[in-house]
Structure 1
Amino acid sequence: MTPTKLGFTITIAAAMLGGDATAQTEIRMWFGLGGRLQEEVLAQCERFNAAQDEVNLVCSREGTYDEIFNQAMAAVRAGNQPHILQVVDRGTGTMMLSGAAIPAYELVDRLGIDVNWDDYFDAIGNYYADREGNLWAFPFNSSTAMVYYNTGALEAAGYDAFPRTWEEFDALLYALRDEAGYDCSLAWTIDLWSDLEQFSAIHDIPVATRNNGYEGLDAELVVNQTRVVQHFEMQQRWFDDGILEYNPDFEVRRDLFVNGTCPIFFNSIAGFTSTQALAEASGIEWTVAELPHYADVTPINNLVGGAALWTMAGFSDEEYEAIGRFYAFLAQPDQQIAWSDGTGYFPVTESAYRSLVDSGYYQEPDNINRDLAVRSLLRAEPTVNSMGIRLGNYVEIRNILTEEIQQALTGTQTMQQAFDEGVRRGNELLRRFEATYPGTELP
């Protein structure tokens, strides 16, 4: 396999899928999705159990992404870890170094699974692969950031298409206030996934040295030296001018959108179906668009977001065979299509995506523009700046940057000072993480 061909479609030998077992093997999966997405995960687990008699899969939500990760590491120390753990994208580097998981490519070899790596979208696989292109986890729920907008509000502001550039987007927000009469043009929060990580990938600029951490634990943050700072200064101007509604609670922002108060908000494509259900009740007309880019930039691929399924160490061959059966089930095109349709996440393989395209799925009225999420991943070959981010203690680093940006919004420091201080504090955490693994290199 190569670093640029990472896709997988699992086909397991008939003996593995059919089996002779007379007693079920029980395996446990912990996941962190809530709300409607939780229901979809449980439904998929139920479909797997109904499709065969050899394995009993017990799926349970054990908290948020971060909560289940911490609980799983504690469970590893106690010898009571789940068989499968859903880990958010930003936890990839930590999982690789933890020693708590069996890499996906090793599991494939161990079970004798036939894997078509070429079927997998590069932009997704890169996030969960080592430097040799070997997949360490099986991508499960994959998404990217989109703009959700009220089509009627844009028409009232004099627009017949959604802006492609940030310069045009900036003008649109003021037109929504001045021409369409909205007190709130944008339901907004400090969203580093969209406005720092996705923004940097699309504009082909680094978040950190050492290829965003892929090449070594000695990476350092550089976001205070890129146009990310100017991008947040623009958003601070929106905040100061009162044309946005700032609220860190996602459900509040979504409600402001679906009830027609604020005609734009940023969200994952994974929120498509839940937003659709809420918008039907309120009667607004809406759709999604790709994130804008600055006019002097040719945009490259969005980053993939979401999470992957990691196979935890410490189990028997019989249990690993049961785990392999579940992965084989998830890889079936009809299961990927059912998952995408029910959640808003997109298929992780080209074959499943092509099946949806060829069937006319994205031309159906309820699905118009959903394929923009996949197309935003495919518009360019990933570069070292758009493969992903592999930094230790990154959850805490995100929190630090958010704290500093909040202080800039309140006027206690400039946005440049916020990023300078955030980078200084963040780099301290990176050095702490590096010291935890002395002499260790990322795979």
Structure 2
Amino acid sequence: MFKTALIAATTLAVLSGAAPASAKTEINMWFGLSGRLQKEVLAQCDRFNQSQNDYHINCTREGSYDEIFQKAMAAVRAGNQPHILQVVDRGTGTMMLSGAVIPAYQLVEETGIKVNWDDYFPVIGNYYAGRDGKLWAFPFNSSTAMVYYNIDQLKAAGYDRFPETWEDFDNLLVALRDKAGSKCPVAWTIDLWSDMEQFSAIHNIPVATENNGYDGLDAQFEINKTLFVKHMERQKRWFDQGLAKYDPNVDTRRDMFVNGQCAIFFDSIAGFTTTDELARPKGTHWTVAQLPHNKDVTPINSLVGGAALWTMKGFSKEEYKAVAAFYQFIAQPEQQKLWSDGTGYIPVTKSAYNDLVASGYYQQDGKVNRDLAVKSLTRATPTPLSKGVRLGNYVEIRNIITEEIQKALNNQVTMQQALDAATERGNQLLKRFADTYQGAKLP
């Protein structure tokens, strides 16, 4: 765990001293984005380096989200952690209790930079904040889940607009198969971010007790008791009836979509730019819609996904000034707009989003409906159950839940049995996390 690793590393860390005045202060950032997104991260780091003469940031991809998380643990033990670490949303609780980070609000206080905390969209800021509302990490690549659909294939199925409810979505899949002749109405995989977390938030139902872990480390999973069970049974019916083509690789699902093989797939809004680049040469007409909701339900906000930037302990005051300068740079509206345009991620600040709206950005060719992601995130004031999931060992637990659901898809168990087993195994890891941090409280 990070907590133990940090204790072992403290004697190795450089705690004071500044770089020579004649040299630029260098800092390091590890991130986990790949492909086009990796190029955009490197471009943003280069823009920062070119914008001033005092600091230089080295940005390095260190594997996937889960891989970078594990590498960071080893790096802390060895005392060679980066200054900035990109951590996926589900790692927030672990990072807060790790003892290895300097909270964002504390870094701001110590370095004196100016940050308008109120400019962050509440649903984004709250995800990375303690119960007092103070942010522990700087939101970086923020997104939410969307439905990507082929406009022409929906018309062939008799639909001129995307359905708002899951019940109507089921009917759409059948129409795509029977009326439009689609052999792949939806390209699908088990995606707990979309299937479990987003679904639960939109329907204001719990993933776990203690307000999804925000209120205590003694949280227990409740995914085997809520509407989520029926939702996964629904998706298994797609699988059984040949309405869904299963593929765990998002790039493969996207390829099947842009080639016209599949009419629908689910993905982060961050995939918008990549999808557009692939679809244009093929003449595929597509757009996005918000995730459906159950009938007779008033949907609330979807969840923010993506990752945030965490500041690691063990460096000099001058290095932390460089870190703060980088955070201040990427928060500028112009940088937010460049980042959003190049990646598909949403701006994390209201000012940057409002600037894009005022400029007519979302009316431009290839940009239409991208703002539906922001509207999905902000269509209601977040409730205690829709502001996020904050559970320890959550990276490992999500793998366990996926593993158990896979057994149901293979007809080894029922979906209820799969989620019962996932709940039991997940609760064991939650208890292990609570025992590791016995007596501790989430901020």
Aligned twin of 2:156: 156
What letter corresponds to residue 419 of structure 2 in structure 1?
F
| TM alignment of 1:330-409, pairs within 5 A | 330-409=330-409
- The residue aligned with 2:287 is 287
Residue 118 of structure 2 aligns to which amino acid in structure 1?
D
Instruction: Give the aligned partner of residue 85 of structure 1.
Output: 85
Aligned match of 1:435:
435
SS where residue 257 of structure 2 aligns? helix
* Alpha-carbon distance in structure 1 between the residues aligned to 2:116 and 2:30: 26
Counterpart code for 1:35: G
Q: Are 2:141 and 1:145 equivalent residues in the alignment?
A: no
What amino acid maps onto 1:168 in structure 2? D
In 2: Cα distance, 1:347 partner to 1:242 partner: 38
1:299-334 CA distance string (max 9 Å, x none) = 000000000000110000000001111111101110
Residue identity in the other structure for 1:440? A
Write the deviation string for residues 256-276 of structure 1: whole angstroms up to 9, x where unpaired.
101100010000000000010
1:38-437 equivalent positions in 2, closer than 5 A: 38-437=38-437
Aligned partners of 1:393 and 1:429 also within 8 Å: yes
Given residue 185 of structure 2, which amino acid in structure 1 is its aligned partner? S
Aligned length, in residue pairs: 424
Q: Distance in 1 between matches of 2:131 and 2:240?
A: 44
Structure 1 CA distance, aligned partners of 2:315 and 2:396? 31
Secondary structure, counterpart of 2:59 in structure 1 = strand
- Matched to 1:272, the amino acid is F
Q: By how many angstroms is 1:363 displaced? A: 0.8
CA distance in 1, matches of 2:81, 2:393: 22
CA RMSD across the alignment:
0.9
List per-residue Cα deviations over 1:181-228 (Å, max 9, x = no partner): 001100000111111000000000000000100011100000100010
Equivalent-residue separation in structure 1 for 2:112 and 2:243 (angstroms): 57
- TM-score for the superposition, normalised by structure 2: 0.95
Which residue type is aligned with residue 144 of structure 2? T
Unaligned runs of at least 5 residues, structure 2: 1-19
**Do the aligned residues in 2 keep the contact of 1:22 with 1:54 (CA within 8 Å)?**
no
Question: Residues 214-256 of structure 1, C-alpha deviation per residue, up to 9 Å, x if partnerless?
Answer: 0111000001000100011111111111111001111111111
What CA distance in whole angstroms lies between the structure 2 residues aligned with 1:219 and 1:210? 5
Instruction: Tell me the alpha carbon deviations over residues 48-83 of structure 1, each in whole angstroms, 9 at most, x when there is no partner.
Output: 111111111100001011111111111111111101
Query: For 1:368-405, what per-residue CA distance to the aligned partner results, in whole angstroms no more than 9, with x for missing partners?
Result: 00000000011000001111000011111111111111
Per the TM alignment, residue 366 of structure 1 is displaced from its structure 2 partner at its CA by 1.1
**SS of residue matched to 2:224:** helix
Q: In 2, Cα distance between the equivalents of 1:167 and 1:438?
A: 44
- Provide the residue aligned with 1:9 in structure 2: none
Aligned partners of 1:383 and 1:103: how far apart in 2?
24
How far did residue 21 of structure 1 move? 4.8
**Residues 85-110 of structure 1: CA deviation (Å, up to 9, x unaligned):** 00000001100111111000000100
**What is the rounded CA distance, in whole Å, between the counterparts of 2:64 and 2:338 in structure 1?**
24
Q: Is the 8 A contact 1:184 1:245 kept in 2?
A: yes
Distance 2:73 2:398 in 1: 21
| 2:29 alignment partner, SS class | strand
> How far, CA to CA, are the matches of 1:82 and 1:110 in structure 2?
19
Partner of 2:12: none
Name the SS for the 1:59 alignment partner: strand
Q: Is the 8 A contact 2:176 2:185 kept in 1?
A: yes
1:115 alignment partner, SS class:
coil
Supply the AA of the counterpart residue of 1:118: D
Return 355-364 or 406-415, whichever deviates more. Answer: 406-415
- Report % sequence identity: 69
- Give, in angstroms, the shift of residue 163 of structure 1: 0.4
Measure the CA separation in 2 of the matches of 1:295 and 1:253. Answer: 27
Query: Which residue identity is paired with 1:222?
Result: E
- Give ranges in structure 1 of 5+ residues lacking alignment: 1-19
User: Which amino acid counterpart does residue 424 of structure 1 have in structure 2?
Assistant: E
Contact 1:258-1:282 at 8 Å conserved across structures: yes
Instruction: Report the alpha carbon displacement of residue 115 of structure 1 after superposing the two structures with TM.
Output: 2.0
- Tell me what 2:8 maps to: none
TM-superposed CA distance for 1:22, in Å, is: 3.4
Code of the aligned partner of 2:399: N
* Distance (whole Å) between structure 2 residues aligned to residue 151 and residue 22 of structure 1: 58
Would you say the 8 A contact 2:113–2:325 is kept in 1? no
**Deviation per residue, 1:341-361 (Å, 9 max, x gap):** 000000001000000000000
